[in-house]
Structure 1
């Protein structure tokens, strides 16, 4: 009995040295008042949640396995502050839910519901994917730089940083007998050195939004289409207190049938087949950090749209402008104001896409113009 007691005591004392683990609770609450000049046919004032950042709470976990290897996990819930409802299609952990292994020399492999490579590597060079959020998204967030959808059933690799370089990729399984029915794959990389940041990514998804269990589920997709293909690159450069950036993205949808932002509204007139929808987005952005707790930022996006239907091909143009000022009351609490304006010009598609629509508003405008203004309070914990 004496020897057994000594052995048990030694085991208890040795366990913490073998594997140390921790779980961190964190979150963001972003709540504000919006004014939109035209929603359908009239203006609207509304309280809205999660614009500069999506309101969320989450858990991060890590266990040291020894030898530079760690087991990691992340569970992140998105929610609407005003109603208390879960976001991302009502999922409990709709923003992220994964488990994986991280090794300092070789990188990280994770499995679960995760971000794609556009979000990881390209989006940080855009205003909407970095400091501005929802209202500054490219039209309908056609390139997912604002993270409108996540990838379920995903296996993902992220490299360690090597002399400023990072790269990675993700594959989202369809979880269907038809292997290619709603799958996703993406790759990307970035380089950071001093004030310079360069990012690029490629994404392809087959059968987006066509079922409930695939990589990009029906209640989570932005566009519902036979195929989605995105590629792009961007650059930011910081000189002193000023940061300037440029990003280009190219998005193509084959046989698109709908868009999650506008529900069941068809993208083509009755009797017209929409064969393809393409967007080229050219973004210029800038930010000036007047003090550590106050910045002003601006963005302009010129979007070339190609609407290829059975009645012919037309090429509308979309102009998007955004302004933002953000002031921190403390390290964790800030107030910000934003304004966004969109104008659709050029050829007519004779569809809902002729009407301006800024992601975050209730519905498209009744005209080719839409203006949104927001004042909000954000708190991180």
Structure 2
């Protein structure tokens, strides 16, 4: 029997229609995404010696990932996201040699009109609040990020929440849908025999084109974290933290403010840290000017208080929607140590 090209096209259209509309078929999509960030960094934080390096992940952590969704029908979707950090300067994975391959994200979950439930390694609500409410977001050049997640070598644990990572393994997370700008998040992580302890975090946020607000909290217990801080090694077993944040976009400038407070407990020792940050982002030409100031106060049993003040000024110039050049100057001062200064010049490409 002779089959015409017209008949073949009609048959193919019928098969395609059946595949898309039949109850036994589901639509799905998978995307590859990432960000490659590399720059020159002349770094001297307070109390440290100067280093000059070609560094990966200055304006944001370099990474790549695979994410996808599957439409299960009835408004229900299956979702997943796996993301790995990259050291672009060496080609190695991870922010350091201690990172797992999928250290940034590694989760699978379900989503419908009632919200999203995820299982796996997931960024914490407090981390999301931290990067949303400062002009440098998750940049390692931003003062609040340095004060909370990147302790100086001269000041071990000079952080509010850096005793834990920005993402928790073995966790269960729920995010509400957005109701007129309001949204919430809850996360619980089980210790599973590790030293990280049991962890709980949550946040409530209001996000709009003008005013945005957020409150986030964390509670960690059963930890076994040891760190050296003269005059002794302290074994931290509990950490409780809270953060208030606000931002307002005037279009000609966006203002940011946040305050984070954390209390760490060990046998016979209490450590209290408070970090305040104010910042601004101003569109100028094809880019935006960034400025941020952070002040951290650290109180520890039987030791003198320690203060840290950091200022960063930068300009991020967009070559296109996906590629930008940046320059950042910073100055950093910790009690009883010499002031440090830094300069970063780099390029970032998003895909």
- Is TM (by shorter chain) over 0.5? yes
What's the RMSD between the two structures over aligned residues?
2.7
**Structure-2 residue corresponding to 1:262:** none
Q: 1:199 aligns with which of 209, 214, 221?
A: 214
Q: TM-score, normalised by structure 1?
A: 0.76
Alpha-carbon separation, structure 1, partners of 2:316 and 2:209: 24
Following superposition, the deviation at residue 73 of structure 1 comes to 0.3
Alpha-carbon separation, structure 2, partners of 1:209 and 1:333: 42
User: Is 1:371 the counterpart of 2:341 in the alignment?
Assistant: yes
Q: 1:52 aligns with which of 51, 54, 59?
A: 59
Distance verdict in 2 for CA 1:314–1:232, change over 3 Å: same
Alpha-carbon separation, structure 2, partners of 1:342 and 1:38: 6
Residues 136-189 of structure 1: per-residue CA shift (max 9 Å, x gap): 32425223489943100010000000011000110011113x9x9611110101
Alpha-carbon separation, structure 2, partners of 1:147 and 1:52: 21
Q: 1:77 aligns with which of 72, 84, 97?
A: 84
**Structure-2 residue corresponding to 1:264:** none
Alpha-carbon separation, structure 2, partners of 1:96 and 1:198: 25
Q: Which runs of 5+ in 2 are unaligned?
A: 1-12, 150-158, 227-233
Alpha-carbon separation, structure 2, partners of 1:63 and 1:174: 31
Asked if structure 2 preserves the Cα contact closer than 8 Å seen for 1:122 and 1:233, the reply is: no
Q: 2:248 aligns with which of 192, 214, 237?
A: 237
Q: Which runs of 5+ in 1 are unaligned?
A: 1-8, 212-222, 256-272, 346-353, 355-366
User: Is 1:126 the counterpart of 2:134 in the alignment?
Assistant: yes
Following superposition, the deviation at residue 307 of structure 1 comes to 1.8
Distance verdict in 2 for CA 1:195–1:39, change over 3 Å: closer
**Structure-2 residue corresponding to 1:157:** 174
User: Is 1:174 the counterpart of 2:194 in the alignment?
Assistant: no
**Structure-2 residue corresponding to 1:24:** 31
2:61 partner SS: coil
Following superposition, the deviation at residue 277 of structure 1 comes to 2.0
User: Is 1:97 the counterpart of 2:114 in the alignment?
Assistant: no
Distance verdict in 2 for CA 1:274–1:290, change over 3 Å: farther
Q: Within 5 A, what are the aligned runs for 1:154-303?
A: 154-176=171-193, 182-208=197-223, 210=225, 225-255=236-266, 275-291=269-285, 293-303=286-296
Asked if structure 1 preserves the Cα contact closer than 8 Å seen for 2:175 and 2:183, the reply is: yes
1:90 partner SS: coil
Distance verdict in 2 for CA 1:170–1:38, change over 3 Å: closer
Asked if structure 2 preserves the Cα contact closer than 8 Å seen for 1:118 and 1:145, the reply is: no
1:126 partner SS: coil
Residues 103-145 of structure 1: per-residue CA shift (max 9 Å, x gap): 0x20000000001110233431123436x44443242522348
Q: TM-score, normalised by structure 2?
A: 0.83
Q: Paired residues, what number?
A: 317
Following superposition, the deviation at residue 316 of structure 1 comes to 2.1
**Structure-2 residue corresponding to 1:334:** 324
Alpha-carbon separation, structure 2, partners of 1:146 and 1:296: 31
Alpha-carbon separation, structure 1, partners of 2:317 and 2:80: 33
Alpha-carbon separation, structure 2, partners of 1:53 and 1:108: 26
Q: 2:116 aligns with which of 95, 108, 111?
A: 108
Alpha-carbon separation, structure 2, partners of 1:335 and 1:112: 34
Residues 291-332 of structure 1: per-residue CA shift (max 9 Å, x gap): 4x3100101112111021xxx242222111111100011111
**Structure-1 residue corresponding to 2:42:** 35
Asked if structure 2 preserves the Cα contact closer than 8 Å seen for 1:77 and 1:94, the reply is: yes
Alpha-carbon separation, structure 2, partners of 1:145 and 1:126: 17
Asked if structure 2 preserves the Cα contact closer than 8 Å seen for 1:172 and 1:183, the reply is: yes
1:79 partner SS: strand
Distance verdict in 2 for CA 1:65–1:146, change over 3 Å: farther
